[in-house]
Amino acid sequence: MTISDKISMVHDVLCQGEYQMDVAKRYQVTQAMVSKLVNKVKANPDFLDELVQKRDDDIARRKHIADKIQELNNEDQVISSIP
């Protein structure tokens, strides 16, 4: 389950008023998982912000890696890994 899925599940329950069971079925997780996420958000309003920040950090990290690989390829450098 991705971070975006978690954000969407919480949004569907809290903002759209959908039942946790329906959301759980749609995302193929247990109702307990949906309930756990919803309760975390209710207890800690910053939880969603933390999830969004984590997702954005992951996107930025992947972009940095892709840019670095492209830079090395443009310079005809060999990219190898050492076991």
What share of the chain in percent tops pLDDT 90?
A: 63
Radius of gyration of the chain (CA): 19
**Backbone angles phi and psi of 60, in degrees to 5:** -65, -40
Amino acid at 11: H
Q: What is the pLDDT of residues 22-55, one digit of tens each?
A: 999 999 999 999 999 999 999 998 988 888 898 8
Q: Quote the pLDDT of residue 82.
A: 63
Which residues, 6 or more positions from 8, have their beta carbon under 8 angstroms from its beta carbon? 27
Which residues, 6 or more positions from 36, have their beta carbon under 8 angstroms from its beta carbon? none
CA distance 56 to 58: 5
DSSP 7: H
CA distance 68 to 17: 44
